[in-house]
A = this chain, B = another copy of it.
Amino acid sequence: MAESITPPLRFGVVLFPGFQALDAFGPLDCINVLSWSENISLSLLASSLDPVTTKPPTLPGAVGQSVVPTHTFGTAPPLDVLLIPGGLGTMGDSPILQEIITFIQRVYPRLKHLITVCTGSGLAAQAGVLDGKRATSNKKVFQEIISLRPQVQWVYHARWVTDGNIWTSSGVSAGIDATLAWIEEVYGKEKAQDIANEIEYCRHENASRDPFAGLHAI
- Measured CB to CB, the residues of A under 8 A from B are 11, 20-22, 24-26, 28-29, 31-32, 35-36, 39-42, 44, 51, 54, 56, 59, 61-68, 138-140, 170-174, 176, 197-202, 204, 211-212, 215
Name the contact of A25 in the complex, choosing from B25, B41, B62, B139 (C-beta under 8 A). Answer: B25
CB neighbours (8 Å) of A202 from chain B are 173, 202, 204, 211
Alpha-carbon gap, A199 to B68, bound state (A): 23
Say whether A63 contacts B51, CB under 8 Å. no
The smallest beta-carbon distance between A46 and chain B, in angstroms, is: 12
A20 vs chain B, min Cβ distance (A): 7
18 A-B interface contacts by CB (under 8 A):
A20-B29, A21-B29, A24-B25, A25-B25, A36-B62, A40-B63, A41-B63, A42-B64, A44-B65, A66-B67, A138-B200, A139-B200, A140-B197, A171-B199, A172-B198, A172-B200, A173-B201, A202-B204
Q: Select A68's contact among B21, B22, B51, B63, beta carbons within 8 Å.
A: B51
| Cβ-defined contact, A63 with B22, below 8 A | no
Across the interface, A36 reaches (CB within 8 A) one of B59, B66, B173, namely B59
Minimum distance in angstroms from A65 CB to a CB of chain B: 6
Which of A31, A139, A204 is the most central at the interface, judged by chain B CB atoms within 10 Å of its CB? A31
User: In angstroms, how far is the closest chain B Cβ from the Cβ of A141?
Assistant: 11
Does B29 lie within 8 Å of A172, measured CB to CB? yes
Nearest-Cβ distance from residue A41 to partner chain B, whole angstroms: 7
Chain B residues with Cβ below 8 Å from A24 are: 25
Query: Cα distance A118–B16 when bound, in Å?
Result: 29
- Chain B residue with the shortest CB-CB distance to A213: B200
- Interchain nearest-CB distance for A106 vs B (Å): 23
Which residue, A39, A64, A199, has most C-beta atoms of chain B within 10 A? A199
Rounded to whole angstroms, the CA-CA distance of A215 and B198 in the bound complex is 10
Chain B min CB distance to A36 (Å): 6
Chain B hits for A54, CB < 8 A = 32
For A11, A24, A25, A200, the residue with the greatest tally of chain B CB atoms inside 10 Å of its CB is A200
Tell me the nearest residue of chain B to A29, going by C-beta.
B22
